[in-house]
Amino acid sequence: MADAADIYQIAELRRWSEATAAIIPPLRLAVCGDPVAHSASPPMHNAALAHCGIDARYTRLHLRAEELTEAFSLLPGCGFIGVNCTIPHKPATLSLVHEVDLSARLAGGVNTVRVREDGRLEGFSTDGPGLSRAVREQFGTGLGDLRVAVLGAGGGAGRAVAMQCASEGSPRVALINRTLEKLVPLRTEMMGEFEKCSVEVVGFELDALEAQLAESDLVINCTALGMKPTDPTPIPAGMLRAQHLVLDTIYTAARTPLMCAADTVGARSANGLSMLLHQGALSFEIWFGREAPVEVMRTALLAAQQGVAA
């Protein structure tokens, strides 16, 4: 949980130099969200900035949806290098930046904004590329070699993950979602962008789900199920097989219900911490045009997750 002093609002952004005059290094990066106190990005990025000797600090901006347009217009004048966007601002940010990178267009939202020297804003998404790096790190293989089942493909993270799989040449992507209507336009878009990708669309009906999992190597959970310790697994535990690789994008628990289910059949699994880390590293690379100190960021992230001041 962040200190109240570490969370700024639109009123302070309007008088930024005065409101933050005493803060050294200057606040020049932030995560924007509503809520934003839970974000683990500040300790991770501040460790990277300090390690690299960059004269900037990363903070939190609590912005409501109706404040975003004004806030983004203020960023260049306040000396910002960039910002990250989190729930619920990623889709809206697409239309608030001057230039949209392909990564953001495919993801349907912006999670990283770079403020150029001329004051123009560029929008990127590191959700999909961060997932890709995490899969390679955790399982030693690339998305292009894996048939993937995306649970919760109708959500923001699910869409970004599904598009990333298709863009890297996954031979088969199964889109699975509780609300089926959300998947039809996504499937059409994926097949329009990536002609060779085979895309299946199913709900959580047991027979259909079982058939899709039998044709998948990697199962990625992008549903919100698992954020609470009392949550059920998003799919029945008995559907997993020892040969499945299981990545749960949830990072608030070391072992999520889905990972526990994977344990029972001897399948390899990982939580979403590695995805979060690599998304952050990619944002750092976008802002500074240099490699991010990934191990420094990982240590800070783990310390923050364990509630230790980092």
Q: What are phi and psi of 93, to 5 degrees?
A: -65, -25
Q: Is 90 a catalytic residue?
A: yes
d(CA 67, CA 36): 14
d(CA 175, CA 171): 13
Piece of the chain touching ligand NAP by CB under 6 A; list 112-120, 176-184, 187-195, 293-301: 176-184
**What residues from 139 to 168 belong to the interface with ligand NAP (CB under 6 A)?**
152, 154-158
Q: What is the closest distance, in whole angstroms, from the C-beta atom of residue 295 to ligand NAP in the complex?
A: 18
| Closer Cβ to ligand NAP, 170 or 279, answer by number | 279
Task: Rule CB under 6 A: say whether 305 interacts with ligand NAP.
Answer: no
d(CA 14, CA 97): 19
Task: Rule CB under 6 A: say whether 227 interacts with ligand NAP.
Answer: yes
**What residues from 238 to 257 belong to the interface with ligand NAP (CB under 6 A)?**
249-251
Which residues make beta-bridge pairs with 77?
A: none
Q: What are the DSSP E strand ranges found in 177-263?
A: 198-202, 218-221, 245-248
183-213 burial code (b ≥16 CB/10 A, e <16): beebbebbeeebeebebbbbeeeeeebeebb
Which residues make beta-bridge pairs with 84?
A: 31, 112
Binds ligand NAP by CB under 6 A, chosen from 105, 178, 187, 255: 178
| Closer Cβ to ligand NAP, 257 or 293, answer by number | 257
Minimal CB distance to ligand NAP: which residue? 155
Binds ligand NAP by CB under 6 A, chosen from 279, 284, 286, 287: 279
Catalytic residues: 90
